[in-house]
Amino acid sequence: MSVSVITPTRLLPDRVGMLVELNQSLSNNNCIVEHVIVIDGAAKTNLPADLCPNTTVIATARPVGQAAARNLGLAVARGDWITSADDDDWLYPHSLDKRLAAIKSDRNALWCAGYCTDDCKLDPAIIAAGVSSAGDVWRAWPTPKANIPLGPTTLLVDVNLLRSIGGWMGLPQGEDIGMMMAVTSSAPGIIIDSYVYHIRLHPGQMTKTAWFEELELLSRKAAWNRGEQILNMANKSIKLNVIQASASC
């Protein structure tokens, strides 16, 4: 099985070195890994030359934002499984191998997630490791104001499932949470008791900008609503099937 890791980047000067380190961290896996780098509103000529061989690069002449950049990467990705990584973060050794192994152990799983760390703390691990039925992640998130139950960038997803739900949600931020809600509400998966992703803390982070909080709660609400609507539609479909089956008896 092969994995495509999608990374949107604007090649900001303070992130180029971190992008190279992320790219190199992907080689610490035994599986086949494609790194899909989507340059958002910058020239390919600014991309460092010392990248791993199995790297696919596309560029947009105008800035399109993270959600669109991730979805453009999904359109060209060649992997059987998809995950994403920000250009200022990195993956733990064998992060992808561990998630693939968990998926192989459960024939029903169409996604796998783990836990993440940052420079100061470990993931709160709101959801315990183990098999996760469709909707369990959403149910573990009581309101948009509560802590997000999983790190969206730890999610490894079947490529067909991700494309069928429309990829990343078209939001200015929180698009990865919206993707996670759609994936985990649509299909069963598995959560492993392992740290698979590391978030760097630095002054250039989006979460440290003055405008971040302005749309954060609204973006979370949109993602939360997406999970709720998918589960409501699934319940209606089940009820309709029961009614039809009863009528045919």
What CATH number should be reported for the domain holding residue 10? 3.90.550.10
Q: Which pTM value belongs to this model?
A: 0.91
Q: Of 83 and 121, which is predicted with more confidence? A: 83
CA distance linking residue 180 with residue 6, whole number of Å = 15
What was the pLDDT predicted at 211?
63
- Residues whose CB falls within 8 Å of the CB of residue 175, separated by 6 or more in sequence, listed in order: 66, 67, 70, 168, 169, 219
Cα–Cα distance for residue pair 52/211, rounded to 1 Å: 35
Is the Cβ–Cβ distance between 83 and 96 less than 8 Å? yes
Asked if residues 138 and 227 have their Cβ atoms less than 8 Å apart, the reply is yes
pLDDT bin (cut points 50, 70, 90) of residue 241 is low
Quote the number of domains for the chain: 1
**Greatest Cα-to-Cα distance within the chain, rounded to the nearest angstrom:** 68
Q: What percent of the chain has pLDDT over 90?
A: 76
Q: Which of 171-175, 183-187, 234-238 has the lowest mean pLDDT?
A: 234-238
Overall average pLDDT of the 63-81 stretch: 97
Residue-wise pLDDT tens digits, 117-170? 988 877 777 899 999 999 999 999 999 999 999 999 999 999 999 999 999 999
Token readout for 209 is: 């900008």
Q: Which residue has the higher pLDDT, 202 or 154?
A: 154
The stretch 76-85 carries a mean pLDDT of: 98
Residue 121 sits in which domain range? 2-248
- Please check the confidence at residue 79 and state whether its pLDDT lies above 80: yes
Provide the pLDDT for residue 245: 62
Tokens of 66: 């993270």
Is the distance from CB of 219 to CB of 136 less than 8 angstroms?
no
Q: pLDDT higher for 222 or 241?
A: 222
**pLDDT, average across residues 167-190:** 96
Q: Which residue has the tokens 């971190």?
A: 18
Q: Using one digit for the tens of pLDDT, what is the confidence trace for 31-49? A: 999 999 999 998 888 898 8
Backbone angles phi, psi at 62, to 5 degrees: -115, 150
Separation between Cα atoms, residue 114 and residue 122, nearest integer Å: 12
> Mean pLDDT for the chain?
91
As a whole number of Å, the end-to-end CA separation of the chain is: 44
* Mean pLDDT on 220-240: 87
What's the mean pLDDT in 86-112? 97
